[in-house]
Structure 1
Amino acid sequence: MSGSKTTGSSGGPPEGSGVDYSGLALNLCGLVAGIAIWWVLTAGGAVGLPPPPQVASRFADLIANGQLATDIMSSLARVLTGFLLGVILAIPVGFVMGWYKVARSLIEPYLQFFRMIPPLAIIPLAIVTMGIDETPKIFVIFLASFLASVVATYQGVISVDKTMINAARVLGAGDLTIFLRVIIPASTPFILVGVRIGLGSAWATLVAAELIAAQTGLGFRMQQAQLYYDLPTIFVSLITIGILGLAMDRILLVIERRLTVWQERV
């Protein structure tokens, strides 16, 4: 028998070995390469974008005067509230649609109808019906995350292998037991993918949501900077949104791996 270690198909560490240091190293190399390319392109003035040192200087200024922290807290509050409300409602609706054909027939036309309408197109209606306070901002973000999450949950339920359901029935399991012990675990990977997509949709909708009479927020700061052609501030807001979104996505990825530890991975 061979005494060599078992590794992943990409030559990474064995499954369950902990942190993938090679992957982290590649991530870091990619980040450094991206910044270097950005710096080279802007150093000669060939591209009308601010160089990294100028953006870094604006980062420091906005951190020092507390403006960046205020904007981050405002945007995070809106995104988290809308995102969590969307996911909390989407998961049970998706389960109901997937489990009951009658509910699916009643709900799916409305779901597909609203999926075809960009959440940004709802902004005028949200302003007229909900005013200009925090409610319409959160509602637009909620709608974006809800639609992504509910479709993934519904797809997860209807994709469960019927053989597993029939086997559980043969063994005497009732509908509730099948739902709890078969449907939910089997559809969890789909749900978590939908949650991650919903998170991306929430952040993507943030800037437009903060068009609604916002006084603080990363999207609001970008819109203000646009009026004065303040490119460094725009870059600071864009990079901050990217960093926050990436951090939240990585948290969801860790949760996904822990909840689907049984799932075979490449």
Structure 2
Amino acid sequence: MTETVQVAPIKTPVRPGLSPTLNRIGLTALSILCGVLFWNILSRYSSPLFMPSPAATLEAAKELMEDGTLVRAVLASSARIASGWALGVVVGIPLGIIMGRFVPIRQFLDPYIEFFRFIPPIAFVTLAVIWLGPGESAKVALIFYTTVFIVTLNTIAGVQAVNPLRLRAAASLGAGPLQMLTTVILPSTVPFMVTGARIAMGNSFLTVVSAEIVSADSGLGALIWTARNFARTEWVFVGILALGMLGYVFDRLLRIAVGLLLRRYHPTT
């Protein structure tokens, strides 16, 4: 009779370590700290007019917070960006799907898309004020102009990237044009739509600053321009930092929304 020898499994020692989330937070905090330290070193060897220190910038931010200037500027810019960007996405996605799906429509509209997308929004600031007035409509229209071409082009690329074999398979199973659109084309195009929306949001911040500098008495662009008139460089830094943080928040909220609502389409966020 043969005896069965049981070998005890070798236990691999578990090395204690931080979770990926804590690692990411730690590296982010370290990166920010290094940036602030480098900024502080530069400010020590520069004029306050050229490079205000982090402490001076923080004091300026407190000053602008106390009188409500910074809060009003952030809210004004946020409302303009959100409105113009949302309108651009709402128009750009259907337009991109139609142009990507129907060749004659794409060929008809392509000259206008290719012409206007190379003209920067700042070139239309004067016309926007003449046509729509100096109020909010002009600024929202400029952000819409920035957004719609980017979203449209990315959506067209997504529609054209759909695997033709999938379309033939859906057709062979009896899917009509509407079913093919909702079950094959739209799911495959979602990652392109999300990418276009994120890129357009970044460009919207550039546009809103330009529009507010030229024609606005509120907003972060107007705050930066006012700081220039009063030679308050620390206010300029406050406006720049506020724009960066606001952009980070907007992009993070968009990524969270995409992750919750469109997770099954595997968008890249």
TM-score, length basis structure 2: 0.88
C-alpha separation between the residues in 2 aligned to 1:205 and 1:116? 14
Distance change in 2, residues 1:90/1:115 (3 Å): same
Q: Which runs of 5+ in 2 are unaligned?
A: 1-8, 13-17
Distance change in 2, residues 1:51/1:166 (3 Å): same
Partner of 1:114: 116
Matches within 5 A, 1:15-30: 20-30=21-31
For residue 107 of structure 1, report the CA deviation from its aligned partner. 1.2
**Does residue 1:79 correspond to 2:81, yes or no?**
yes
C-alpha separation between the residues in 2 aligned to 1:219 and 1:151? 28
Secondary structure, in 3 states, of the residue corresponding to 2:215?
Answer: coil
Aligned with 1:222 (options 221, 224, 227)? 224
Partner of 2:211: 209
Q: Which runs of 5+ in 1 are unaligned?
A: 5-11, 14-18
**Does residue 1:43 correspond to 2:58, yes or no?**
no
Q: How many equivalent pairs are there?
A: 255
Letter in 2 for 1:105: Q
Matches within 5 A, 1:1-266: 20-45=21-46, 48-258=50-260, 259-261=262-264, 263=266
1:90 and 1:146 in contact (8 A); partners too: yes
For residue 200 of structure 1, report the CA deviation from its aligned partner. 0.6
Aligned-residue CA RMSD (Å) = 2.4
Distance change in 2, residues 1:170/1:128 (3 Å): same
2:57 and 2:238 in contact (8 A); partners too: yes
C-alpha separation between the residues in 2 aligned to 1:189 and 1:249? 15
1:188 and 1:260 in contact (8 A); partners too: no
Larger Rg: 2
**Structure 1 ranges of 4+ moved more than 6 A:** 1-4
2:195 and 2:268 in contact (8 A); partners too: no
Letter in 2 for 1:113: F
C-alpha separation between the residues in 2 aligned to 1:63 and 1:136? 27
Partner of 1:8: none
For residue 80 of structure 1, report the CA deviation from its aligned partner. 0.9
TM-score, length basis structure 1: 0.89
Distance change in 2, residues 1:262/1:156 (3 Å): closer
Percent identity reads: 30
Secondary structure, in 3 states, of the residue corresponding to 2:213?
Answer: coil
**Residues 146-200 of structure 1, C-alpha deviations (whole Å, 9 max, x = no match):** 1111111111111111111111111111111110011111100000010001111
Secondary structure, in 3 states, of the residue corresponding to 2:266?
Answer: coil
